[in-house]
Amino acid sequence: MITKGLPLPPLSTIGILGGGQLGRMLAIAAAEMGMRCHIYCPDADSPAFDVSIRHTRAAYDDLDALTRFAQECDVITYEFENVPAATAAHLAALRPVCPGTRALAISQDRLQEKQFFSSIGIEVAPWRPVETADDLSAALAEIGPQTLLKTRRFGYDGKGQVRVSAGDDPAVAIDKAGAGPYVLEGIVPFTREISVIAARDAAGATCAYDPAENIHRDQILHSSAVPGDIAPATAKAARVIATRILDALDYVGVIGVEFFVIRDGEADRLLVNEFAPRVHNTGHWTQDACLISQFEMHIRAICGWPLGSPRRHSDCLMTNLIGEDALQAERLSGEPDARVHLYGKAEVRAGRKMGHVTRLLRPVR
Ligand code: AMP
């Protein structure tokens, strides 16, 4: 990664593709460091617009708008991984885009992601590429009987995923999963799901937060507990794997890496589920339980500032406020040691992430 022009001085402009809550919290962190954010998003009601000095409302394939946006930015980042490859390439020719286009491309395609993990010796769930119903039958025979058929692209929060068991009709499963191609994954008998938020700067310095233990409900993240019930050796191994991914990608910025923990005799084994080339919902706890949040860490990394410490000063529990949960925000904010974060979304919808609450449980000594 090029370090020329770094560190960016205060009042530099950070371009952010995507205007959701992650962009909003990045922009707030950037403002606290004296930086300015320019949000690029096609949606009129983007939560990040409210907290940024400038925004462009245009389509991701509007090359003229992208060029004008890039010309106003010193560095460009993104808050979602489905930025079209052509958009990222266009911008990368004009300004530094962090994390780079390779991390973006790999994270967009579950097949490339699995191949990447294998290439650097990281264990994943058993998997097979699938395009047709015949492929699915053959793959099911090899890695069944309990599997998940996942679309290679555009899956999130369990969308684009179908459970397939031996004996199911492969054509029906393919139909249910949506547009292919796919990967078929063996269902992993995990004891818990954990994630690590880690960061790397342009000079190659890295750091990693303590892993969080994550609970999903209806395939949406419900809560993240830190430290959670994670053995120290497992926590260390997870941080090491996350750092290996960062180095292999020559990555700049914050990454979220999700793991399955499986019991293997007396020891834990870690399988990587996926990585997100951005700040991550399972890292929101860092806003209140660490000196430097994942949002500030990302801004520091892409601006070439020192990463700072990922040290956690408190044990904590982060709970998402989904749909009507957000109606409890004011009451929750009255709890001692709790802090409520709302994303400024006007319309409450079932399954929509409206905010989160962080509860500090006890200080770390
Ligand atoms: P994903 O979209 O791949 O992050 O999957 C969403 C959730 O589905 C994960 O957080 C797990 O709870 C579950 N899941 C995904 N893949 C597997 C697997 N191979 N085995 C067991 N559970 C899985």
Helix, strand, coil percent values for the chain (each to nearest 5):
30, 30, 40
Which residue's C-alpha comes closest to atom 5 of ligand 1? Answer: 158
Give all strands (DSSP E) within the chain, no chain letters: 13-17, 36-40, 54-56, 75-78, 127-130, 146-151, 161-165, 182-186, 192-200, 206-208, 212-217, 220-226, 253-264, 267-276, 314-322, 338-342, 353-363
Is 137's pLDDT higher than 90? yes
CA 184 – CA 38 distance, rounded (Å)? 39
Q: Which two tokens stand for residue 204?
A: 């190659």
Q: Which two tokens stand for residue 265?
A: 């005799």
Q: Is 222 in contact with 215 (CB distance < 8 Å)?
A: yes
In DSSP terms, 257 is beta-bridged to 196, 275
C-alpha 79 – ligand 1 centre gap (Å)? 21
Q: What is the DSSP string of 101-167?
A: HHHHHHHH-HHHHHHHHHHTT-----EEEE-SHHHHHHHHHHH-SEEEEEESSS--TTTTEEEEETT
Q: Which two tokens stand for residue 46?
A: 């983007």
Q: Which two tokens stand for residue 203?
A: 């000079």
pLDDT band at 24, cuts 50/70/90?
A: very high
For range 103-114, the mean pLDDT: 97
- How are strands ordered across the β-sheet holding 54-56? 54-56, 36-40, 13-17, 75-78
Three-point CA angle 79, 85, 90, nearest 5°: 95
C-alpha pair distances (Å), 153 with each of 161, 163, 259, 283, 292: 11, 17, 19, 23, 32
Percent of the chain with pLDDT over 70: 98
Q: Is 184 in contact with 143 (CB distance < 8 Å)?
A: yes
- Dump pLDDT digits (tens) for 220-257: 999 999 999 999 999 999 999 999 999 999 999 999 99
Which residue's C-alpha comes closest to atom 14 of ligand 1? Answer: 187
Q: Which amino acid is at 275?
A: F
C-alpha 224 – ligand 1 centre gap (Å)? 16
pLDDT for position 5:
86
185 C-beta closer than 6 A to ligand 1: yes
Is 1's pLDDT higher than 60? no
Label residue 38 left, alpha or beta by phi (over 0 means left) and psi (-120 to 50 means alpha): beta
125 C-beta closer than 6 A to ligand 1: yes
C-alpha 362 – ligand 1 centre gap (Å)? 31
Residue among 141, 135, 11 at smallest CA distance from 73: 11
pLDDT for position 51:
98
For range 52-75, the mean pLDDT: 98
- Dump pLDDT digits (tens) for 167-225: 999 999 999 998 989 999 999 999 999 999 999 999 999 999 999 999 999 889 999 99
C-alpha 71 – ligand 1 centre gap (Å)? 40
For range 267-284, the mean pLDDT: 97
Closest atom, ligand 1, to C-alpha of 161 = 2
Closest atom, ligand 1, to C-alpha of 156 = 2
Percent of the chain with pLDDT over 90: 94
Is 66's pLDDT higher than 80? yes
C-alpha 123 – ligand 1 centre gap (Å)? 15
User: How many CB atoms lie under 10 A from the CB of residue 13?
Assistant: 20
Closest atom, ligand 1, to C-alpha of 110 = 3
As a residue count, the chain comes to 365
Is 156's pLDDT higher than 80? no
What CATH code would you report for 13-97?
Answer: 3.40.50.20
CA 19 – CA 12 distance, rounded (Å)? 19
Q: Is 184 in contact with 164 (CB distance < 8 Å)?
A: yes
Name, in order, each residue with C-beta under 8 angstroms of 119's C-beta and a sequence gap of 6 or more: none
pLDDT band at 18, cuts 50/70/90?
A: very high
C-alpha 216 – ligand 1 centre gap (Å)? 9
296 C-beta closer than 6 A to ligand 1: no
pTM score over 0.85: yes
Equal fold, 13-97 vs 192-363: no
Is 3's pLDDT higher than 90? no
Fold category of 126-186 in CATH: Dna Ligase; domain 1 (3.30.1490)
Q: Is 17 in contact with 77 (CB distance < 8 Å)?
A: yes
Count CA atoms within 13 Å of residue 79 on its CB side.
26
C-alpha 222 – ligand 1 centre gap (Å)? 14
Domain extent listing, the chain? 13-97, 126-186, 192-363
Is 159's pLDDT higher than 90? no
155 C-beta closer than 6 A to ligand 1: yes
3-state SS of 135-147 is HHHHHHHHHCCEE
Architecture of the CATH domain 192-363:
2-Layer Sandwich (3.30)
Burial class, 16, CB count within 10 angstroms (exposed 0-12 / middle 13-18 / buried 19+): buried
